[in-house]
């Protein structure tokens, strides 16, 4: 009887650990992902990220205005910044968050999501959430000149290729019409 009881306890313990393991390895449910998005304060985070992204965009508008102020209306910068802010404010954040849920489900298991929730509930995770908008703003500010320089170079190269193609087209003999049958 004693052996049977010990064997039953061991089997139950082993069985429960297998069930727990299979649950942790199962794909994350929509509810799991929603718990994660709540844990990271996704709505607040998206709002802060939008604010952080708009600052470098405002700076870019200012730079462009300063370069072309003699050809642009005096209220160009203000109007453009208002449009940018309006577009960011009107962004369908809730729809976007809902659309991202399947991607999280595809890449994370329930155990992964539980671990992420545990991390973002920790002091370090909370600091990461608090600092992320400023980190992104600083990163955007650092990257923007590099992106602008690269885009200018790409634009220049495209214009050169377009001009070369136009020259070649002008030099090419006119194509004769196809023979009539």
Per-residue pLDDT tens digits for 155-166: 888 888 888 888
The answer to whether 97 and 13 have CB atoms below 8 angstroms apart is: no
CA quadruple 163, 167, 170, 173: dihedral, nearest 10? -140
pLDDT of 8 reads: 52
Tell me how crowded residue 42 is: count the other CB atoms within 10 A of its CB: 19
Could you state, in order of their start, the residue ranges of all structural domains in the chain? Answer: 27-149
Tens digit of pLDDT at every position of the chain (181 positions): 556 544 554 544 555 444 444 478 899 999 999 999 999 988 888 887 777 778 878 888 888 888 888 888 889 889 999 998 888 888 888 898 899 999 999 999 999 999 999 999 999 999 998 898 888 888 888 888 898 898 888 888 888 888 888 888 888 766 566 677 6
The answer to whether 77 and 61 have CB atoms below 8 angstroms apart is: yes
Q: How many angstroms separate the CA atoms of 151 and 144, rounded?
A: 10
pLDDT of 169 reads: 80
pLDDT of 52 reads: 73
The answer to whether 53 and 88 have CB atoms below 8 angstroms apart is: yes
27: β partners: 109
């Amino acid at each position: 009887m004693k052996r049977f009881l010990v064997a039953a306890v061991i089997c139950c313990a082993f069985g429960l650990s297998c069930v727990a393991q299979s649950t942790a390895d199962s794909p994350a449910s929509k509810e799991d992902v929603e718990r994660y998005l709540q844990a990271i304060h996704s709505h607040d985070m998206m709002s802060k990220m939008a604010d952080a992204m708009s600052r470098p965009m405002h700076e870019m508008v200012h730079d462009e205005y300063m370069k072309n102020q003699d050809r642009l209306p005096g209220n160009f910068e203000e109007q453009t910044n208002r449009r940018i802010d309006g577009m960011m404010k009107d962004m369908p954040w809730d729809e976007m968050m809902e659309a991202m849920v399947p991607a999280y489900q595809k890449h994370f298991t329930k155990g992964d999501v539980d671990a992420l929730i545990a991390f973002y509930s920790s002091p370090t995770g909370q600091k990461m959430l608090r600092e992320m908008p400023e980190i992104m703003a600083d990163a955007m500010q650092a990257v923007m000149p590099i992106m602008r320089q690269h885009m200018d170079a790409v634009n220049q190269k495209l214009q050169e290729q377009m001009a070369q193609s136009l020259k070649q087209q002008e030099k090419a003999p006119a194509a004769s019409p196809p023979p009539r049958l």
